[in-house]
Amino acid sequence: MPATNVLDTKSFCFVDLRQAMPELPEIEALRQRLAPSVVGRELLSITILKSRLIRPRIASDLNAALEKALIVGLDRRAKYLLFTLVDRQSRPQTLLLHLGMTGRLSWIANGDFIPKQTGALFFFESQSLVFEDVRQFGRIGICGAELDELGPEPLEAAFTSEVLQTRLAGSGQSIKTLLMDQTRVVGIGNIYASESLFLARISPFRPAKFLQSGEINRLHASIRDTLISAIDRNLRATELGGFPFYYSPNGKAKSVESPPEFNVYGATGRPCLSCGTLIQKRIQLGRSTFFCSACQV
């Protein structure tokens, strides 16, 4: 049976206003907001407008595999959305969707104007889910071996401080670099690596192998606290139409006034909320790293 909790065609969109790749909290918030409107519905067809998004299949193969399939679940693995479907031959299929750096999803009524940067359209009865991707770093496809090399999920019970220590052990790389390595632990990018290290009072430039067990324990707790808080913040922001999710009725993204969202990320020159020392920015392997030189050692 089709889901009864269907969102209004203009009421929901994922927009990353920070112009940074969405991380675990953004994808998880999107999953929770999107699931009630797709699970239990029949996916009539898929139209691909930007073939670069399809890997490795061609668009016609993807549509043939999933045409008139029933969506029975929506999950997340790392930064991927995973749509579980049952096709016309009652076979399970998993559609993988990665937003890349600039991807976003929104609803339109069938027959309405299609946004300029639309890469794919997922057609349902009366509505279509639009996938826009300006830079085309996103990905759509049938799930295969893409997830095999990924590390553990940081919010699962199995992810203990001992697991984190094992994942970091022996590496001379900086701790921030390792936290962003999706084969070590998934879902953490530039934003939440910086935030987690600040809460743990650990310098982002420290070699991972030199961290003590007490520091690992603090880092483990700060990762979980940071991600859980960010998921909650993103969910509340979508409900209120605020930062970082907002999509105005005329289709233009904008932000709203809000208190500082992050302790250090993007806060260069602002006094540290803990000690008053000015937050610094340094380029680390091509990415901006934000930190407090007094709190993080």
Residue 208, both tokens: 């991972």
What is the model's pLDDT at position 253?
Answer: 42
Same fold yes or no, 24-142 and 161-291: no
> Hunting for tokens 């880092």 — which residue is that?
219
Picking from 107, 96, 192, the residue whose alpha carbon sits closest to that of residue 139 is 96
Model confidence, pTM = 0.86
Contact in structure between 39 and 9 (CB atoms under 8 Å): no
Residue 181, both tokens: 């390595």
CATH code linked to domain 24-142: 3.20.190.10
Residue 21, both tokens: 């790749």
What is the model's pLDDT at position 32?
Answer: 93
Q: What are phi and psi of 138, to 5 degrees?
A: -75, 180
- Residue pLDDT, tens place only, 63-97: 888 999 999 999 999 999 999 999 999 999 999 99
Q: Write down the domain spans for the chain.
A: 24-142, 161-291
What is the model's pLDDT at position 207?
Answer: 97
**Is 47 strand, coil or helix?**
strand
What is the model's pLDDT at position 56?
Answer: 66
User: Terminal CA-to-CA distance of the chain, rounded, Å?
Assistant: 56
Contact in structure between 215 and 208 (CB atoms under 8 Å): no
What is the model's pLDDT at position 260?
Answer: 58
Q: How far, in Å, are 40, 111, 128 from residue 121 at the CA level? A: 18, 12, 6
> What is the signed CA dihedral for 109, 115, 119, 124, rounded to 10 degrees?
0
Q: What is the DSSP string of 68-86?
A: TEEEEEEEEETTEEEEEEE
What is the model's pLDDT at position 4?
Answer: 36
The CATH class of 161-291 is mainly alpha
What is the model's pLDDT at position 166?
Answer: 96
What is the model's pLDDT at position 249?
Answer: 31
What is the model's pLDDT at position 20?
Answer: 57
What is the model's pLDDT at position 194?
Answer: 97
What is the model's pLDDT at position 144?
Answer: 80
pLDDT tens per residue across all 297 residues of the chain: 334 334 443 334 443 333 457 899 999 999 999 999 999 999 999 999 998 888 766 777 888 889 999 999 999 999 999 999 999 999 999 999 999 988 889 899 998 999 888 999 999 999 999 999 888 889 999 988 889 999 999 999 999 999 999 999 999 999 999 999 999 999 999 999 999 999 999 999 999 999 999 999 999 999 999 999 999 988 887 654 433 333 333 334 434 334 457 999 999 999 999 999 999 999 998 999 999 999 999
Contact in structure between 112 and 64 (CB atoms under 8 Å): no
Alpha-carbon distance 254 to 27, whole Å?
Answer: 19
> Hunting for tokens 């479907």 — which residue is that?
85
201 contact partners, CB below 8 Å, separation of at least 6: 218, 295, 296, 297
Task: Give the catalytic positions in this structure.
Answer: 22-23, 79, 287
Contact in structure between 146 and 79 (CB atoms under 8 Å): no
At residue 291, what is the residue type? F
